[in-house]
Structure formats: structure tokens, C-alpha cells
Structure 1
């Protein structure tokens, strides 16, 4: 009976050694898995999402629009206004001013309706009249018919210039699109052209060039519907008259080149007419 018992004890010892060996191997393997790889500190950056509730929790800012004698105060949340670099700079100025607890920003020369449209866009990503699809807008009952004063065009033009000054490129693009979707009359177009050449930057070809191109291709409208208004516009803004004339002359020269090319059978350039005779 003693020999079988010794065999059992030896087998148990072997099993314990085998289990110990497996434990060591498992520990070594785990140690290899836990060795630093240099990637521990690299984690995906998840951008923090700003919700509409966050906007509404921000302080209320007063916008005093118009001159001191006839101003109107509008109210908006600071976080929404901060999307504009212009207003963000104003907040920095207010916060750095010593002993100043004012939450008021003065806009003495800006149009009240245009400022309201900018605020409407910041809250709703659009402003009235809103887009109705890609090629039309919501009906605006406040626009007279016919719109000889350019009411609708001027409304969007004012929003465009404000968006440019406030640093809101998406809003300026939206207003520019609405300008091209707006129906008007010849006199209304002249009123719009006058505003553009008075208020828009001379380098802003995105809004100036279409104005000149509109009149350059509509000489019949100038003669029959708005001749006097066009004349006054050219005298008031000579650059407008020059821009229109340049486009008219460019178009005429291209037509002459095509006609000469067709008559000669080649696509030759514009030829200067020779003068016969001898100059004494």
C-alpha cells in the first residue's frame, strides 16, 4: 500500500510544478502585453459640442442701434453674438475696460432692420424672407408692387454689407444669393446700384461686377425705363459709368472679332483699319 501512495504524491508534485510553470508563462505574457508602446497618451480628440441651451445660458447683451436721439435697443445672447469676430472684439474691449459693468454695444450708423436680420440669422440660420428651395424665397407682403424703390434689393444689400463688417461670410453669401433671386424694376435696380457703389468696398467685385454687368446688357431698359435715373447715377458715381462702358466696349469688340473671323474664314484678331492718302 505504501508504494501507490508515493506515486500519487509524486504525480501531485508534478502537477503543481506544471501549474506553477503555466502561471509564470502567463505572467510573463501579461508583462509583455503591458509593456509601454508609446501610444498610451494618444487618445482621439472629441470636439466639445455647443448646444443651443449653452447659447441661451450666456449673458444678455444690449445692442443700441441708431443715433442717440432715435435709437432702439435690441437684446441677444452673448454666446450667439460671439460667432462674429466684430462682436467678439467688442466683448474683449468691454471686459478690459476698468470699472465698466456695461453690457451695451452701440451701433449708431447701422440700419435697424438689417441688424435685426443679422440677429435672426444667428438664431435661426436664415432671415426673412427665408429661402423656399434653391430658386425661390418666401413671399414678402411688405414689398411694394412694382418695387420701383428697390425695397427688396436694398434689404438684402444692407444685410450683405453688415455681414461683411461683422465677419459672417456664410450670412453674406446667403444675402448675395437672395439678391439674385429678387425681382425688381429698372428704377429699383438703379436704387440698388447706388447703394452698392456707395456702401460696398471698391474691391468687392462679387457684388459690384454683377451690377455693372446687369446694366451693360440692358441698354434698351436704360433708354425706355430709367434713362434719367441712369444719368444721375453715372454723374454721382463715375466709376459705375466707367464699369458699364468697359463691359459694353468689351462685348462690342468680341462681336467685331467674331465677325472679322467669319468674313475672313479665320479666327484672326482685331485688325486696325488702314488710312489711305498722304498726310501733307
Structure 2
């Protein structure tokens, strides 16, 4: 009877004669055999799949993956701070305001004028050694003086000759119109801070119906239709108080409504909107009462 041959295990890399066929592999050798078998299997998978899972690759075989370029955020340039001393030593500019008997020459340091985009355009056209003069014949001298006061002090006030505590209503509208002129000047110069300051001062004045009407006429003839910030309060006042105010300035109120149709339309719109809301509320209440009666 023939004895079957003893199985032989050949480790890759070893020669056929490196180990006798009759010897059984030691545990260590068996471990190497299993490891080599696993490597052989993985190699076959690489050849068949075309790409091996990155988790099975040794760390030394992984290639460095280039990181995307990081876009550095631009460093904002430091904001230029206002230097009062430098402004005081800047060149003097002459501003000729008004015309005829009202023409007045005002003088101011150039740096206090460049904050206004409207004036900065004139200053940008000055020659280095030429005259520095700006002509503004259509502007109000008093309003422009308040603008200069604001540029130097960040506020403005009534002239000392007119300074007083308003204990009674402004009957002529002089004070309201003064602030309104500063408001429109600030809009033209491009200074929102001065514009807001003037608007706030207007609402602190206690005015008579005649003054309110004069102010309404100025607002609706000197501001754009889209400037609801100043127009809306005017229209709301007359919409809410017209039944009282018009008795004291009836003819003047009628004249304003005819001459400035936009004022009439805005006042009427507010009144009609309020009436529609109240009518809708009454209908809802009436429906609720009818339902409650039916339920009873």
C-alpha cells in the first residue's frame, strides 16, 4: 500500500530546498504563512479592482495630498481718524453764499468742508496755487452758517440775537422753516448726520397752525416725493388734526391743497386708510355679534 506524500507548504521567497518536506512549520512560521497569504490575497484584489482601499494601505505608501490654496482675507486699511489740529491748519476756503443784498462771504478750513461730497467736488478742482473760492448763490446764508457750526462743533443752535426759550407757539413758522432749510441743505451736501439733527430739532418746536401750514408748504415744495421721512409726519399731522387746524387757517389750507396736489393726496390717503381699517374692524365685530346671536 502506497503512503500518500506529506503536504508541503512553500513560503514565497524561499527556495524549494530551504525546508525539508517532512518538517512541520513552527507556530512562528505558520503566522508568517498566514500573513503572506493575506498579502497575496490583497495583492490579487489590487490587480483585479484596480485600486485598493486607502484603509488597507500602509502609512508609508500614502502620497501627500496637496491642500487647496487658502485665500487670505485682505487686511482692512486702518480708518483715518479725524485730527482737529490738522483740520485747523488746512487751507482757508471762501464760500460766497447768496446773491444781491444777501450775498455773504464765509470762510472755513478746507478739511471741514471735504466731509460734504457736494463741496468736495469743488475743492477737487482747485489748483495748487490758485484761488480757493466756492460760489453758492442759491443757498441760504443762515442755513449754511449753521452747517459750518455743525462741522466745527457737531451741533448747531440759533444765533445769539435770536436765542430764546420758546414759551409760546411759533406763530410765523420762522424757527421750523430755519431747521427745514438746514435739512434740505444737508440733503444737498450729502450729510445724513446733519439732516437727522435738523429733523429732530423740528419736532421739538411747539408751533401754531399758521406755522405748521408754512412748514408743510416748504416741505412739499423743497423735498423729493420719495423723502417720506419728513413728508409723512407732515401729512399725518394734517390728516389727524385737519378738523381743528383748518378752522384757524381755512383759506390758507385750501390754497395749499389746490397749489400742492401731492400734499392733498397724502393727507387724503392717510384719512381713507384709517377709515377703511375702522370699517373692517366694525364688520368683524358685527359678524361676531351675529354669530353669537345665532348660537343662542
Normalising by structure 2, we get a TM-score of: 0.67
Q: Which residue of 1 aligns with 2:174?
A: 151
2:168–2:206 contact (8 Å) kept in structure 1: no
* Alpha-carbon distance between aligned partners in 2 of 1:43 and 1:160, rounded to the nearest angstrom: 37
Change (3 A) 1:200 1:44: closer
Q: 1:203 aligns with which of 208, 226, 231?
A: 226
Deviations 1:15-35 (A, max 9, x none): xxxxxxxxxxxxxxxxxxxxx
CA distance in 2, matches of 1:48, 1:163: 23
- 190 and 164 in structure 1: CA distance in 2 versus 1, 3 angstrom threshold: same
Deviations 1:149-168 (A, max 9, x none): 11111111000000000010
Q: How many residues align?
A: 215
Q: For 1:1-280, list aligned pairs within 5 A.
A: 46-68=78-100, 70-95=102-127, 101-129=130-158, 140-141=163-164, 145-265=168-288
Counterpart-to-counterpart distance in 2, 1:144 and 1:203: 34
Aligned-pair distance for 1:103?
A: 1.1
Give the aligned partner of residue 14 of structure 2: none
Indicate if the aligned counterparts of 2:97 and 2:104 stay in contact, CA closer than 8 A: yes
Structure 2 gaps, min length 5 = 1-73, 290-296
Deviation at 1:245, TM superposition (A): 0.6
Aligned partners of 1:56 and 1:77 also within 8 Å: yes
1:133-184 deviation per Cα after TM superposition (whole angstroms, max 9, x unaligned): xxxxxx9428794422111111110000000000101110111111111110
Q: What SS class does the counterpart of residue 241 from structure 1 fall into? A: helix
Q: d(CA) in 2 for partners of 1:54 and 1:162?
A: 26
Give the drift of 1:261.
0.9
What's the offset of the Cα at 1:69? 5.1
1:29 paired residue number: none
CA shift, 1:48, in A, is 4.6
CA distance in 2, matches of 1:78, 1:223: 48
Determine the C-alpha separation between the residues in 1 that align with 2:222 and 2:167.
24
Structure 1, unmatched stretches of 5+, are 1-41, 131-138, 267-280
> Contact (CA 8 Å) 2:170, 2:205: kept in 1 or not?
no
User: Under a length normalisation based on structure 1, what TM-score does the superposition of the two structures give?
Assistant: 0.71
Q: Deviations over 1:97-134 (max 9, x none)?
A: xxx8121101101111100000000000000059xxxx
Structure number with larger C-alpha Rg: 2
| Separation in 2, partners of 1:90, 1:231 | 43
Q: Distance between the aligned counterparts of 2:275 and 2:220, measured in 1?
A: 25
**Cα RMSD after superposing both structures:** 2.5
